[in-house]
Amino acid sequence: MKTLILVILGTYSIFAQNFPTTSTQTRESLDMDLLKNNKEPYTHILSNRNIRWFNNEFPMERTEPIKEIFYETVKPFVESDIRCDLGLVQKFINNLELQGYEVSEYWVSTYLKALRVYNFIDDIFLKLLLELTELHYALEADTHSSNMRNSYYDYLETNNLENLFAEFTEFPDEEQVCAIGAFYRLKNNSRNKKGNRIKEKELKYINKLAYSENMIPLESFNRIETLRRSDILERRIFLSGYLDKTFYAKDLLIPREATRYDIEVDRRDDYVVDKMGWFNNTTRREYLYNKYSDKQLIVLANILRKASIRMGVDADFSASIPEIRQEFVYRNEEGEEQTFVEVFQLSTSNDHVEYALRRMRMDIIEAQMYESFGSVEIKYEDIVLAALETGYITHEEVGLALTYDDIWNKEESKLMQAAKLTMRVGGTAVFYLPPPYNVIGAIGVALINAKIINKPKGEDNDNPYSIFN
């Protein structure tokens, strides 16, 4: 039997059946330097005036010892099976006091702000710590009225006080039992007079009832009321989740072989400045940290990473030209079989981008089907943000991608935008630049999806789901 191979260069794409398995990257030990801020170029919490004060009155040399105390406090907290948010602040205060530091609320808040000024922590962590510090001192000092009314006794019919307040017979020690967790369970299990979930204000009545019935001491009564009046349960991010993302997802996917270059972005362009601000904005990171777990962030970042690998631009992988093979079997007059094989090689830049684009959509669909994602909707901008957070791409790379004016040029038709984006964002020239410049092609694929592929019908120019409108 004879076999002939025909190699055809053309524009064609299919879904790959298999993808090379990459090694699972993990960290064997905690790297405390991951707490340092390298994601937020400026702070949204402290004013320029605040920063100048710290530079003059609280310099780096004065902050370094506090950083060491803080990092030494955080490490056992992360390694512990029980992580109490208030417990971390409490231990930090105790450790400061042991070293002779003043530990009033003002000074503890000042120490934390100094850590942010010198990039030992980021805005998200600072915001969490300041909220917890304020709550810690409020729990120590606040007192509340325990006056009763006869109507409060009606709640006895729908609530078992002994069970409800079992964790508050002594106020939680922040080691075996966490006060915020216990308060959440108390609020979640309390019922109103009709047996429905209780409203915020009604929890005050049940708390007073428990104290009057000698179920809890005065200390617990006051602290429960302080917790009730705080908005601690309204937070979108909790300390344990933040630290998991920091130590087990942040900068985990930095390409080993990539050389980071300083990419010049034209800061005079108002559009680029605005969109770079969008990516840098702390609220975007808060949104990402609130929406996804550390494992989910890695899954999302790997979607962009796979697109880079398929396009042959990932520094850690070498890739052949994608191709399609089809066999044809022919029987001649003598009964001999001949096999012809056609091979379609995706040799042009357009083909690379189209193939990576289609596979990226399939990767998103597959990720969306994971049980761990549940009903969480994956958006294209989330993929770019996750790649930024895990270190696979940098802000500069996103900024360079934004300099392609066709991404936001509303004078062009949709067809022309698609054609020019494909050639300029994912063009041949991009593929042959040194890393990390060439990863822009993969980012461009995500941008094409966000800007054009998902454009709602009936909307010629404006895409409400795009990160570039």
Residue 348 has pLDDT above 70, yes or no: no
pLDDT of residue 281: 64
Asked whether the predicted pLDDT for residue 103 surpasses 60, the reply is: yes
Max avg pLDDT among 243-247, 301-305, 396-400, 463-467? 243-247
The answer to whether 212 and 134 have CB atoms below 8 angstroms apart is no
Q: Is a pLDDT exceeding 80 seen at residue 401?
A: no
Instruction: Summarize the confidence of residues 201-224 as an average pLDDT.
Output: 92
pLDDT of residue 12: 32
What per-residue confidence (pLDDT) applies to 227? 94
Residue 3 near residue 343 (C-beta atoms within 8 A)? no
Average pLDDT, the chain: 77
> How far is Cα of residue 263 from the mean position of the Cα atoms in its chain?
24
Please give the pLDDT value at position 152. Answer: 84
User: pLDDT tens-digit profile of 33-57?
Assistant: 999 998 887 788 999 999 999 999 9
Average pLDDT over residues 331-335: 81
pLDDT score of 377 more than 90? no
The closest of 127, 101, 99, 103 to 37, measured between CA atoms, is 127
Average pLDDT of span 210-233 = 92
Answer yes or no: is pLDDT of 404 > 50: no
Share of the chain above pLDDT 90, in %: 39
Residue of 426 and 58 predicted with greater confidence: 58
| The residue count for the chain | 469
Looking at per-residue pLDDT, the higher value among 420 and 96 belongs to 96
| 73-94 confidence digits (pLDDT tens) | 999 999 999 999 999 999 999 9
Highest mean pLDDT among 71-80, 296-305, 457-466: 71-80
Domain residue ranges in the chain:
40-141, 150-233, 256-453
Name the band, by pLDDT with cuts 50, 70 and 90, for residue 407.
very low
Residue pair 347/428 in contact (Cβ under 8 Å)? The answer is no
- φ/ψ region of 465 (left if φ > 0, alpha if ψ in -120 to 50, else beta) reads alpha
Count CB neighbours of 376 within 10 A. Answer: 15
Q: Say yes or no to pLDDT of 67 above 70.
A: yes
> How many percent of the chain have pLDDT more than 70?
69
Show contacts of 197-203: CB within 8 Å, 24+ apart.
Answer: 200/228, 202/155, 203/228
Tokens at 312, concatenated: 């042959």
pLDDT tens digits along 242-301: 999 999 999 998 887 665 555 454 444 565 556 666 666 667 888 889 999 999 999 999
pLDDT the model gives residue 236: 81
Predicted local confidence at residue 270, as pLDDT: 61
pLDDT at residue 226 in the model: 94
Count CA atoms within 13 Å of residue 333 on its CB side: 0
Would you say residue 453 has pLDDT above 60?
A: no
Does the pLDDT at position 62 exceed 70? Answer: yes
What is the Cα 355 distance to its own chain's centre? 27
Q: Which residue has the tokens 């042009």?
A: 348
- Return the pLDDT at 60: 95
323: CB partners within 8 A, 6+ apart: 343, 344, 345, 346
What's the pTM value of the predicted model, to 2 decimals?
0.77
- Under 8 Å CB-to-CB from 208, ≥6 apart: which residues? 146, 147, 148, 152, 221
pLDDT of amino acid 154: 87
Model confidence at 98, pLDDT cuts 50, 70, 90, reads very high
> What average pLDDT does range 294-311 have in this prediction?
86
Distance CA 450, CA 468 (A): 8
The pLDDT value given to residue 399: 63
pLDDT category at 172 given cuts 50, 70, 90 is very high
- The SS3 of residue 114 is helix
pLDDT band at 352 (very low <50, low <70, confident <90, very high): low
Q: What is the pLDDT of residues 119-164, one digit of tens each?
A: 999 999 999 999 999 999 999 988 888 888 888 888 888 889 999 9
